């Protein structure tokens, strides 16, 4: 009897897993190590079906104070479904040398509550899959604090350069468009 149950479980998991993968947009297929944690952020489980703002960050950049505005934007729209993901990167040589220092800048200095990953490559051939797909759908980040607004179906609807502040009307309009895309 237990063999029949095991066979049913195996058959169901073989049928459900591909269906779940098919429902997950390409952009969100994969995971990232969470900042200062053993946990991983399963991008599909965490963000599929949600409007999302992805930002590549750096602890020692002239744009680092944007963390305050990003947190304010997240607090303003999270009840409407907006998710924000910060991805520290040293691609432009302005990230802290340790995840402890990165975490201090994000969590202590700026009070960030949205998910942050460990430092990742975000441009060029070594970019993590998330940023390769962001580049394919729009453009690769040319500096720290590039911003990508993604609709609930996993498509980039707008991207913004570092100089665009989190309270910029065009960014707010794109975020509101992404929120409106939820089914």
Instruction: Show which residues are catalytic.
Output: 61
Would you state the torsion angle of the CA atoms of residues 139, 140, 142, 145, taken in this order, to the nearest 10 degrees?
100
Q: Cβ neighbours of residue 43 under 8 Å, at least 6 residues apart?
A: 27, 28, 29, 30, 31, 32, 130
Query: What is the rounded CA–CA span in Å between residue 147 and residue 123?
Result: 14
Q: Where are the beta strands (DSSP E) in the chain?
A: 31-33, 40-42, 52-57, 83-88, 147-150, 156-160
157 HSE (CA, 13 A, CB side): 21
């Amino acid at each position: 009897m237990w063999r029949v149950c095991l066979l049913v479980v195996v058959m169901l998991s073989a049928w459900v897993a591909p269906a779940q993968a098919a429902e997950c947009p390409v952009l969100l297929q994969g995971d990232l190590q969470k900042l200062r944690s053993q946990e991983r952020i399963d991008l599909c489980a965490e963000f599929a079906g949600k409007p999302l703002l992805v930002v590549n960050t750096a602890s020692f950049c002239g744009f680092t104070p944007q963390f305050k505005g990003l947190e304010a934007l997240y607090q303003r729209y999270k009840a409407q479904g907006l998710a924000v993901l910060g991805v520290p990167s040293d691609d432009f040589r302005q990230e802290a040398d340790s995840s402890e220092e990165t975490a201090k800048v994000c969590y202590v200095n700026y009070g960030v509550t949205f998910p942050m990953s460990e430092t990742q490559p975000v441009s060029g051939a070594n970019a993590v899959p998330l940023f390769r797909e962001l580049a394919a759908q729009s453009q690769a980040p040319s500096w720290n604090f590039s911003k990508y607004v993604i609709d609930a179906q996993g498509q980039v609807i707008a991207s913004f350069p570092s100089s665009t502040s989190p309270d910029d009307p065009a960014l707010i309009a794109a975020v509101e468009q992404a929120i409106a895309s939820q089914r």
